[in-house]
Amino acid sequence: MQQTGSQILFTALKEENVDTLFGYPGGCVMDIYDELFRQEIRHILVRHEQGAIHAADGYARASGRVGVCLVTSGPGATNTVTGIANAYMDSIPVVVLTGQVPTAMIGNDGFQEVDITGITRTCTKHNFLVRNIGDLHRTVREAFQIARSGRPGPVLVDLPKDVIQSVTEAELPRTVVPPAEEGRPDLEGLCTEALKMLLQAKKPLIIVGGGVILGKASEVFRAFVKKFRIPVVSTLMGLGAFPASDPLWTGMLGMHGAYSANMAVSHCDLLIAVGVRFDDRATSKVEAFAPHAKIIHIDIDPVSIDRIVRTDLAIVSHCTPALDTLHRLSDEQGLTLPERQIRAWLNQLRQWKAEMPLSYCRNQNIKPQYVIEKLHQLTQGRAIIATEVGQHQMWAAQFYRFDEPNAFLTSGGLGTMGFGLPAAIGAQVACPDRIVVDVAGDGSIQMNIQELGTIAHYGLPVKVVILNNLYLGMIRQWQELFYGRRYSQSDMTQAPDFVKLAEAYGIKGLRATKPEEVKRVLQEGLETPGPVVMDFHVEPEENVFPMVKPGTPLTEMAFGNVRAVA
């Protein structure tokens, strides 16, 4: 039977159980879009290609599946580069399908030609230029395997127009050659050694990172923690892997981490890092990081081992088999941590949490932290929260208190403004029965605000909460603290009326300017069917605290004039 390249592409996508594409058509992918007209795969037409890649990213984070986006050549492809780099930094499995000029024209500066495989070589796990229709099916299947295997990440497949238009009668392969077997360590031996170190510890601590969520290991992680009653701190990307409502939860560590979490890391005698890459925002001054601790590092990526923080024991493995093995060995040998051995440590952690909880000062203006607290209360902590990047991102991380994995979608490694709204679109498509909220700043939301057109087009019930302080808030905070309050180009006073803008897209817009209006606006916005934009005019010069100045130890935390809320 004759098949075109476009038909082979959709056959491969169906075999990978792809149900949704996020994309934007163009000249070099017209044949793919013509074939799409005959297919049952859902397509979400975004308003900008950056929206497509971020939406595919959000879909992947919320669902745990590979996200897919489809764009044309040239500017369509280059508009995805920021999103590809974002997915690469945060280890998110996405497959990016890009159009390309016909193979005979490649290298001749044809209309809308760019070397997208060359451009993205350093920010993809792998990329492909398909030069022959006979390679198309295998290449697409391999792209998905690479994206989700090992440490996940983005894979790009560049599709020349003539390959897509070509016709073949060759049968498609029934099976796909599996990727090379990854080297596995002696898990039993290494886990036995880890348990010996744990049983000797008097101040044990676990750092949980995004790898636990990506590896679908949250359940086994929680079981291991409960068995040994080890206190837990989290990186930004690990929020939700362990319940923030659990007494063993000690907080998020790092630049804007909780006092209790940073103190715990700085005073523990054993640190078990699971699915963590020791980002600089988490460690701050590396020489002073966990200075009294032996360190066990469990991670799938051998490149992450000893790259930043020197470890005493490295276990290169997926989180699930490593944690399963630890749990099984401890059961077989009847191993536990006597409570008396770590009682003083647990009491110390409780004291640190009580001494300096995350807090803020109230006044006559809306405090952004209060908005997040009320959002958590009204959603009962069950919403999927996407964020842009900036102060609002940190307030969401600090005050929403995540109990479940795959519920906090944020740009951690790259810090990409404009991520949240399209990521929320992807999450809402993946999880239609969940409440999905984009927590945004007035600066970040304008980076991809055109995607309001996408949520209006499809009637997606995404709720947008804008913490509007009329500044590029995090830039302004640093200018206040480190640059003598010289607010150079961080003033965003000339901003749109977000309520009117929402209404222009056919979306309900709400606004709160006083603290007493916050609960009502949130309730109305959450209860309204369909998309809603909520504009909260918050304290203009509110800062994110605690804060660790870059390059200083985690124990050197600034609190401003924060005090506990009565």
**CATH number for position 74:** 3.40.50.970
Structure tokens at 455: 């949520």
In terms of domains, do 334 and 372 share one? no
Instruction: Tell me if 174 is assigned to some domain.
Output: no
Q: Please count the other Cβ atoms lying within 10 Å of the Cβ belonging to residue 440.
A: 35
Q: How many CA atoms lie within 13 A of 395 on its CB side?
A: 29
For residue 84, give the nearest of 72, 74, 99, 69 by alpha carbon: 69
Residue 530: the pLDDT is 97
In terms of domains, do 341 and 238 share one? yes
Residue 566: the pLDDT is 28
Question: Which residues are paired to 274 by β-bridges?
Answer: 208, 298
* Residue 173: exposure state from Cβ atoms within 10 A (0-12, 13-18, ≥19): exposed
The sign of the dihedral angle between the CA atoms of 256, 260, 265, 270 is negative
In terms of domains, do 411 and 436 share one? yes
> Distance between terminal CA atoms of the chain?
74
Instruction: Tell me if 240 is assigned to some domain.
Output: yes
In terms of domains, do 110 and 193 share one? no
In terms of domains, do 342 and 398 share one? no
- Determine if the pTM surpasses 0.75: yes
In terms of domains, do 441 and 500 share one? yes
Q: Are 316 and 302 in contact (CB under 8 A)?
A: yes
Residue in this structure with the two tokens 């000797």, named with its chain if needed: 200
Q: Which residue ranges of the chain lie beneath pLDDT 50? A: 180-183, 563-566
Q: Are 194 and 326 in contact (CB under 8 A)?
A: yes
3-state secondary structure of 42: strand
In terms of domains, do 329 and 412 share one? no
Residues with catalytic function: 49, 111-112, 161, 474
**Between β-strands 167-168 and 3-4, what pairing exists: parallel, antiparallel or unpaired?**
antiparallel
Residue 178: the pLDDT is 59
Instruction: Tell me if 16 is assigned to some domain.
Output: yes
CA dihedral 276, 278, 281, 285 (to 10 degrees): 150
* Residue 107: exposure state from Cβ atoms within 10 A (0-12, 13-18, ≥19): exposed
Q: Are 82 and 113 in contact (CB under 8 A)?
A: no
Residue in this structure with the two tokens 């230029």, named with its chain if needed: 129
Structure tokens at 231: 């206190």
Residue 179: the pLDDT is 53
Residue numbers of the domain that contains 242: 187-355
Instruction: Tell me if 459 is assigned to some domain.
Output: yes
Instruction: Tell me if 408 is assigned to some domain.
Output: yes
Calpha distance 507→28 (Å, rounded): 33
In terms of domains, do 298 and 319 share one? yes
The sign of the dihedral angle between the CA atoms of 243, 558, 372, 407 is negative
- Give the tens place of pLDDT for each residue, 272-316: 999 999 999 999 999 999 999 999 999 999 999 999 999 999 999
**Between β-strands 557-558 and 547-548, what pairing exists: parallel, antiparallel or unpaired?**
antiparallel
3-state secondary structure 164-206: HHCEECCCCCCCCCCCCCCCCCCHHHHHHHHHHHHHHCCCEEE
If one counts the domains in the chain, the total is 3
Strands (E), 349-414: 384-387, 408-409
- Give the tens place of pLDDT for each residue, 96-151: 999 999 999 999 988 999 999 999 999 999 999 999 999 999 999 999 999 999 99
Residue 169: the pLDDT is 86
Structure tokens at 276: 């963590």
Say which CATH number the domain at 332 has. 3.40.50.1220
